Structure 1
Amino acid sequence: MDILTVIQQLYPSFSKKEQFIANYILQNGKAIKNMNISVLANHVGVSNGTITHFCKKIGCYNFADLKVQLGSISTTVSPASENDILVQVHHFYQTAIERSNQLLEIKYLHQLADRIRKAARIYIYGIGSSGLSANELMLRLLRMGFNVQSITDSHLMVINSSILNEKDFVIAISSSGETTAIIDAARIAKNNKCKVVCLTTFSESRLAQLTDSYVIVSNSLFIDKERFVNSQFSTMYAIDVLCSILLTDVNLKGSMQITVDTILEHNRVE
Structure 2
Amino acid sequence: MSENPKETFTPPPPPPPPPPHTLRSRVRSLAPTMTRSVRAVAEAVASDPAGCARLTVTALAEHTGTSEATVVRAARLLGYPGYRDLRLALAALAARQESGASPAVTADIAVDDPLADVVAKLAHEEAQTLADTAAGLDLAQLSAAVTALAGARRIDIYGVGASALVGQDLAQKLLRIGLIAHAHGDPHLAVTNAVLLRPGDVAVAITHSGSTGDVIEPLRAAFERGATTVALTGRPGAPVAQYADLVLATSAPRESELRPAAMSSRTSQLLVVDCLFIGVAQQTYETAAPALAASYEALAHRHRAPRQEPRR
Residues 104 and 35 of structure 1: is their aligned pair in 2 closer, same or farther, counting only changes over 3 Å? closer
Aligned partner (choices 251, 270, 277) of residue 243 of structure 1: 277
TM-score normalized with structure 2 length: 0.67
Q: Does the residue aligned with 2:204 lie in a helix, a strand or coil?
A: strand
Q: Note the aligned Cα RMSD (angstroms).
A: 3.6
Matched residue, 2:65: 49
Correspondence for 1:145:
178
**Which residue number corresponds to residue 195 of structure 1?**
228
Distance change >3 Å, CA 269–CA 258, structure 1 → 2: farther
* Counterpart position of 1:252: 288
1:232 aligns with 2:232: no
Question: What's 2:7 paired with?
Answer: none
Q: Which residue is equivalent to 1:14?
A: 34
Other structure's SS at 1:202 match: coil
Give how far 1:35 is off: 9.7
CA-CA distance at 1:73 after TM superposition: 4.8
Q: CA offsets per residue over residues 163-199 of structure 1, 9 Å max, x none?
A: 2222322111111211112222111112222221111
Instruction: Tell me, in whole angstroms, the C-alpha distance in 2 between the residues paired with 1:114 and 1:80.
Output: 38
Q: What's 1:104 paired with?
A: 137
Matched AA of 1:130: S
What does the per-residue CA deviation read over 1:99-155, in whole Å, with 9 as the maximum and x for residues that have no partner?
Answer: 112221223222212211211111100011111110111111111111111001111
Q: Supply the distance in 1 between the matched residues of 2:229 and 2:71 (Cα, whole angstroms).
A: 35
Identity %: 21
Q: 1-side partners of 2:197 and 2:247: how far apart?
A: 20
Shift of 1:233: 0.7
Which residues in structure 2 correspond to 1:94-243 (within 5 Å)? 94-218=127-251, 220-221=252-253, 223-228=254-259, 230-243=264-277
CA distance in 1 between counterparts of 2:271 and 2:194 reads 27
Structure 1 SS opposite 2:230: strand
* Distance change >3 Å, CA 66–CA 48, structure 1 → 2: farther
CA deviation digits over 1:39-78, x for unaligned, max 9? xxxxxxxx940498765532558xx999756534545547
Where in structure 2 are there 5+ consecutive unaligned residues? 1-18, 53-62, 76-81, 307-312
Q: Matched residues in 2 for 1:69 and 1:111: separation?
A: 30
Indicate how the Cα distance of structure 1 residues 166 and 77 shifts in structure 2: closer, same or farther if over 3 A, else same. Answer: same
Q: What is the alpha-carbon distance in structure 2 between the residues aligned to residue 152 and residue 251 of structure 1? A: 28
- Out of 1, 5, 24, the position equivalent to 1:4 is 24
In structure 1, C-alpha distance between the alignment counterparts of 2:167 and 2:173, rounded to whole Å? 10
CA distance in 2, matches of 1:60, 1:12: 21
Distance 1:100 1:78 in 2: 18
Q: Describe the SS at the equivalent of 2:264.
A: coil
Question: What TM-score do the two structures reach when normalised by structure 1?
Answer: 0.77
Measure the CA separation in 2 of the matches of 1:103 and 1:89: 21
Structure 1 pair 124–266 and aligned structure 2 pair: CA distance change class (3 A): same
The one-letter code matched in structure 2 to 1:195 is T
Asked if the contact 2:231–2:240 (Cα under 8 Å) also holds between the matched residues in 1, the reply is yes
Larger Rg: 2
- Distance in 2 between the 1:60 and 1:5 partners? 19
User: Tell me, which stretches of 5 or more residues in structure 1 are unaligned?
Assistant: 37-46
Change (3 A) 1:111 1:171: same
Structure 1 position 87, deviation (Å):
2.8
Q: Relative to structure 2, which stretch is displaced further, 140-149 or 155-164? A: 155-164
